[in-house]
Amino acid sequence: MGKRQKWTRGAVVTVPLGDGFHTYAQMLEDPEYAFFDCKTQDALPAVTVVSRPLLFRLWVMRYAHSTGRWPKIGVAPILTTLQEPVWRYNQDPLRPQDIRITFDGCNGPLGSLTDCEGLECAAVWDPEHVESRLKSHYAGVPCRLTLSLRPRVVDV
């Protein structure tokens, strides 16, 4: 692992993908990252990274950056669209018929399975799971972790 790092809003980090490839993410509001579509073997400047298309935004465990697993390469302005909160869903494990549509993972109106389409689950990801999701994306195959987090249909 690399040098220990603190959270820096706007910092761009390198996310390893294996086989000499990597991509990049930007630190938003702790613990959220924006992941950009830029699989490469080259070192890109932070301002170039944030001009690439957005893949997704996820909450990620602190040790992704604090251990230096994802090293910082610089800081770039956060795009206005990335400063807005993102709707996510949270399915109650004790009352699975209750699905909340929320910004913060806890509070929000009840929603339906249809309301969850296109939304991320309100979950904090381990960095290795994010790396696996990115590898699946670039391989053009479904990510089993993302599929496992989809809301499930329940009989009431």
91 is a domain residue: no
21 is a domain residue: yes
Domain residue limits at 79: 1-83
Q: How many domains does the chain have?
A: 1
Share of the chain above pLDDT 90, in %: 69
Q: Which residues of 81-115 are buried (b: 16+ CB within 10 A; e: fewer)?
A: ebeeebebbbbeeeeeeebbbbeeeeebeebeeeb
- Could you report the per-residue pLDDT of 80-100, keeping only the tens digit for each? 999 998 999 988 888 888 888
Mean pLDDT, the chain, whole residue set: 92
Half-sphere exposure of 29 (CA within 13 A, CB side): 7
- The pLDDT, as a whole number, for residue 97 is 87
Contact in structure between 145 and 133 (CB atoms under 8 Å): yes
pLDDT band at 1 (very low <50, low <70, confident <90, very high): low
104 or 114: which carries more pLDDT confidence? 114
How, if at all, do strands 32-40 and 124-125 pair? unpaired
- Could you report the per-residue pLDDT of 105-138, keeping only the tens digit for each? 778 888 888 898 999 999 999 999 999 999 999 9
Contact in structure between 27 and 13 (CB atoms under 8 Å): yes
11 is a domain residue: yes
109 is a domain residue: no
4 is a domain residue: yes
139 is a domain residue: no
